[in-house]
Amino acid sequence: MPSPECDSDTMRVANAVSNQLGEGARSGKGAGPVAQPARSGCRLVSPGRPDVYVVDPGGYRRRIANHSTYDRLFRDWRGIADARDLEGVAERPPITSGTLLVRGDASARIYLLDDGRKRLIPSDVVMDKYWFNWGRICVVRQILIDHVPPGDPWE
């Protein structure tokens, strides 16, 4: 099973990118936060701040609405990394309190129900990469899943 933490190579690359962006900003070349796909799958906090973020497949940080939502999606609180450069990661709308993991009763496909869309989680590897909780997948009638509009896969 993969580590619940962002591996050291991922963090090293992300920090190098962040440092380059910081140098660009000081020289007038950079323009604010940017997506950091190398960090996708990481769960991050800014030291001393209560908000927890997950970096989505596109490399954008998404604040997790509250502890209940976090507990409903993720296995546990291990592996959340301190990120002093969190403000340098571009942000998308938060993971709302209504977000959950679902599958239909006639299918093995797992989705992240996010902002009114079902986003396919295509593999066990992706479930593990994001530290999603296998035990918290809600099984609902297939007809309900079939009528939720699709979103981009969560890879």
Indicate whether 12 and 66 sit together in one domain: yes
Q: Which domain holds residue 71?
A: 8-88
Per residue in 47-69, pLDDT (tens digit) is 999 999 999 999 999 999 999 99
Indicate whether 14 and 79 sit together in one domain: yes
* 57 in any annotated domain: yes
User: pTM (2 decimals)?
Assistant: 0.81
**Number of domains the chain contains:** 2
* 140 in any annotated domain: yes
Per residue in 86-137, pLDDT (tens digit) is 999 999 999 999 999 999 999 999 999 999 999 999 999 999 999 999 999 9
Indicate whether 120 and 80 sit together in one domain: no
Query: Do 148 and 117 touch, CB atoms closer than 8 A?
Result: yes
Pick from 124, 95, 112, 123: nearest CA to 150:
112
Cβ neighbors of 64 (< 8 A, separation 6 or more) are 51, 52, 53, 54, 70, 73, 94, 95
* 155 in any annotated domain: no
